Amino acid sequence: MSQADIQTAKLSNGNSLKVHTQLFINNEFVPGRGPLIDTINPVNEQVICKVHSASEEDVDAAVDAANAAFKNEWKKVAAAQRGRYLNKLADLMERDIDELATLEALDNGKSFVVARDVDITDSIACFRYFAGWADKIHGNTIETTYDKMCYTRMEPVGCVASVTPWNYSIMMPTWKLAPALAAGNTIVLKTSEVTPLGMLKVAELIKEAGFPAGVVNIITGYGHITGNHLTAHPRVHKIAFTGSTATGRRIMDGSAKSNLKKVQLELGGKSAQIVCADADLENAAVQACGGIFNNHGQSCNAGSRILVHEDVHDKFLELFVAEAKKIKVGDPFDPEVSQGPQINKAQFEKILEYIDIGKKEGAKLVHGGRRIGDKGYFIEPTVFTNCHNNMRVMREEIFGPVVAIGTFKTIDEAIEIANDSDYGLAGGVYTSSIETGIIVSNSLEAGTIWVNCYDVFDQSTPFGGYKQSGFGKELGLDSLKEYSHIKTVKIQLISRL
């Protein structure tokens, strides 16, 4: 490991931290041939460090390393041993959990406590879950005709590429790495150029865990250079992407123009939370508040539209605003803070623009709506009411701490409003009737529905979208299928009886 790779980052609490800044290719940190990229601390708008980015030549080198590792070693590694590598990585992440959480808080701006107790803890659990699957991936024997034997095999696709976002900069990569590796693939993972530091630390742990060279390669760079070349690469056999719908379209185009690689997309959302007249309003207010304001509203599944039965609107709004007022915004290293800054200046300005749009469209601002302080990208949790489904704040993904609340008269009307969206990633319903919960859940056009809760994840449950929220599943057994080819074998039996 070159000392040129290591830089010192200053924390807001006066401490410092060593960070990796180079690309991780073939189990080594190497300089990138692309432009250096400033990594900005969203708390104070100052440069944390400069990270290397991957040129097209660097992408080629990473893809070559992954293909060579797959052909020469990884495909020959026993499935149980793949599981042991994943478990070892989970152990090392648990050992270094505070350092990983510190990198998340520094680079991303999210609360250190949330990063440690949610993001990194869940990532560790995800690696362990898929470690358990590694030696249980198999096909079936199928009865066809008496003179033939038929069986299927689940085989790895080979070299996988993954492009991951900045909002969950360790957890989202983990959702790709864990099933891909458990299923026997090698991978080139591109982190967001906005938040690369956490995964470069994970790269160090991957090498320490003993993964063979080339099995995992972690690079960063701009989407129009590094991302485009990686996702359209003819020697990449599958792409897994989490990010915007617009970028998802470009990735599909790149697949079509190259080698028709498998494509898995987890894209944007404008999820609706439906509060019925019979709901436990105190619980609904708590859950719905978390559903939009978790991670500063920077979640693709954020419940950013809340539809409330007109009979309970005023009471729910009172409870909801009271919950929003409890959110402490500030320095991520303050243990009392749950909302840090937005990720960067561009996102910060976009959110403030949407707040102005909401006001101009006639929505009523009942809480928040302003910048906090004069340094850093802090925005108050913002609540609009009197919102109608033709308003931009009800239709477009804001990706920030802004919620639009409207009303409905009947359950059928609520379902119709909720489904009147280009997106279909998630949704929620709050009711004391299990029948209503099931009817609404079955009627909503979205990939995940929560009943009397929101934003609850588990490694065993699949997650993915409908419509322009993408296709394919993260997590659970279904995700292993995303990283596998299903092969059918039929054998003619020559009877000697």
Share of the chain above pLDDT 90, in %: 95
What is the pTM for the complete model shown? 0.96
Distance, in Å, from the CA atom of 381 to the CA atom of 383, rounded to the nearest integer, reads 7
Write out pLDDT tens, residues 74-107.
999 999 999 999 999 999 999 999 999 999 999 9
Residues 6+ apart with CB under 8 A from 55: 32, 33, 34, 221, 225, 226
Average pLDDT, stretch 47-67? 97
User: Which residue in the block uniquely carries the two structure tokens 């989202």?
Assistant: 172
**CATH code linked to domain 6-267+470-486:** 3.40.605.10
Average pLDDT, stretch 382-400? 98
Residues 6+ apart with CB under 8 A from 204: 1, 20
Comma-separated ranges of CATH 3.40.605.10 domains in the chain: 6-267+470-486
Write out pLDDT tens, residues 403-450.
999 999 999 999 999 999 999 999 999 999 999 999 999 999 999 999
Whether residue 242 is predicted with pLDDT greater than 90 in this model: the reply is yes
Q: Which residues are paired to 141 by β-bridges?
A: 151
Distance, in Å, from the CA atom of 159 to the CA atom of 146, rounded to the nearest integer, reads 38
The residues assigned a catalytic role are: 266
Whether residue 279 is predicted with pLDDT greater than 70 in this model: the reply is yes
Distance, in Å, from the CA atom of 122 to the CA atom of 475, rounded to the nearest integer, reads 12
Write out pLDDT tens, residues 198-233.
999 999 999 999 999 999 999 999 999 999 999 999
Decide: residue 490, CB within 10 A, 0-12 exposed, 13-18 middle, 19+ buried: exposed
Distance, in Å, from the CA atom of 69 to the CA atom of 89, rounded to the nearest integer, reads 19
pLDDT for 8: 86
Write out pLDDT tens, residues 123-145.
999 999 999 999 999 999 999 99
Residues 6+ apart with CB under 8 A from 307: 272, 273, 274, 275, 405, 406, 407, 408, 414, 417, 418
Average of per-residue pLDDT values in the chain: 96
Average pLDDT, stretch 241-250? 95
Total number of residues shown for the chain: 497
Tokens encoding 296? 């500063």
What is 103-158 written as a DSSP string?
A: HHHHHH---HHHIIIIIIHHHHHHHHHHHHHGGG----EE---TTEEEEEEEEE-S
| Confidence band for 1, pLDDT divided at 50, 70 and 90 | very low
Give me the helix-helix angle, 197-208 and 79-95, nearest 10°.
130
Whether residue 2 is predicted with pLDDT greater than 60 in this model: the reply is no
Question: In angstroms, what is the C-alpha Rg of the chain?
Answer: 23
Write out pLDDT tens, residues 323-370.
999 999 999 999 999 999 999 999 999 999 999 999 999 999 999 999
Q: What is the largest CA-CA distance in the chain?
A: 88
What's the distance, CA 322 to chain centroid?
Answer: 29
Tokens encoding 256? 């079509």
| Confidence band for 497, pLDDT divided at 50, 70 and 90 | low
Distance, in Å, from the CA atom of 480 to the CA atom of 471, rounded to the nearest integer, reads 14
Task: Name the nearest CA neighbour of 416 among 288, 268, 274, 267.
Answer: 274
Share of the chain above pLDDT 70, in %: 98
> Kind of pairing, strands 16-20 and 23-25?
unpaired
Percent of residues in the chain assigned helix, strand, coil, to nearest 5: 40, 25, 35
Distance, in Å, from the CA atom of 125 to the CA atom of 74, rounded to the nearest integer, reads 23
| Confidence band for 383, pLDDT divided at 50, 70 and 90 | very high
Distance, in Å, from the CA atom of 138 to the CA atom of 486, rounded to the nearest integer, reads 10
Write out pLDDT tens, residues 4-48.
588 888 777 777 888 999 999 999 999 999 999 999 999 999 999
Average pLDDT, stretch 158-173? 98
Output DSSP code: residue 379: B
Distance, in Å, from the CA atom of 400 to the CA atom of 385, rounded to the nearest integer, reads 17
Residue 41 neighbours by CB distance under 10 Å:
22
pLDDT for 4: 59
Task: Name the nearest CA neighbour of 24 among 224, 193, 199, 158.
Answer: 199
pLDDT for 49: 94
Output DSSP code: residue 260: -
pLDDT for 298: 98
CA–CA distance from 413 to each of 184, 317, 356, 465 (Å)?
A: 47, 20, 28, 22
**CATH code linked to domain 272-451:** 3.40.309.10
Comma-separated ranges of CATH 3.40.309.10 domains in the chain: 272-451
- Yes or no: say if 26 and 63 are a contact pair by the CB < 8 Å rule: no
pLDDT for 273: 98
Give me the helix-helix angle, 121-133 and 79-95, nearest 10°.
170
